[in-house]
């Protein structure tokens, strides 16, 4: 279950990232009029800058793709939250499970009798 959720989450995040790169490239192309291949390279480089890449991507989705502003913001803000929450939930639950099992193992080792000399019946 956990592996399937991670695979679906990361695949969705990859597809979502490609949409973001395309929107950022469209924004650069609309602003500068550069050749589309240069815009894609620029989108990959500028997309890593949090505020600038996001702003140009939102502008590209709104101006070039003619999306509404809420839909453009949703691409760069809403979808990441929706994709991130299930991954966060699985990661946190796995961490809690590991800590709980480690605590139980420590507790069990404390309550076991020591393996010192054992009296044998005669």
Stretch 24-32: mean pLDDT: 94
Mean pLDDT, the chain, integer: 84
Stretch 12-21: mean pLDDT: 86
Residue 119 in domain: no
Interatomic CA distance for residues 54 and 46, integer angstroms: 9
Residue 97 in domain: yes
For a pLDDT cut of 90, what percent of the chain falls above it? 34
Residue 117 in domain: no
Residue 77: pLDDT band (50, 70, 90) is: confident
Are 46 and 23 within 8 A, CB to CB? no
Interatomic CA distance for residues 90 and 3, integer angstroms: 10
Total of domains in the chain? 1
Task: Show the domain range for 39.
Answer: 2-107
Residue 5: which of 79, 99, 98, 89 has the closest Cα? 89
pLDDT at residue 52 is higher than 80: yes
Residue 122 in domain: no
Helix (H, G, I), strand (E, B) or coil at 78: helix
Q: Name the least confident of 26-35, 44-53, 58-67.
A: 44-53
Residue 115 in domain: no
Q: Which is more confident, 33 or 6?
A: 33
Q: How many H helices and E strands in the chain?
A: 5, 0
Residue 116 in domain: no
Interatomic CA distance for residues 81 and 83, integer angstroms: 5
Residue 77 in domain: yes
Residue 112 in domain: no
**What pLDDT, on a 0 to 100 scale, did the predictor assign at position 63?**
93
Stretch 61-79: mean pLDDT: 89
């Amino acid at each position: 279950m956990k592996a399937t959720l991670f695979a679906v989450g990361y695949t969705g995040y990859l597809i979502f990232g490609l949409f973001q790169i395309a929107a950022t490239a469209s924004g650069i192309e609309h602003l500068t009029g550069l050749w589309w291949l240069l815009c894609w390279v620029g989108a990959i480089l500028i997309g890593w800058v949090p505020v600038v890449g996001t702003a140009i991507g939102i502008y590209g989705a709104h101006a070039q793709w003619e999306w509404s502003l809420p839909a453009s913001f949703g691409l760069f803000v809403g979808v990441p939250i929706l994709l991130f929450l299930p991954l966060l939930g699985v990661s946190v639950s796995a961490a809690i499970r590991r800590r709980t099992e480690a605590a139980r193992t420590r507790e069990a080792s404390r309550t076991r009798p020591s393996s010192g000399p054992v009296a044998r019946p005669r």
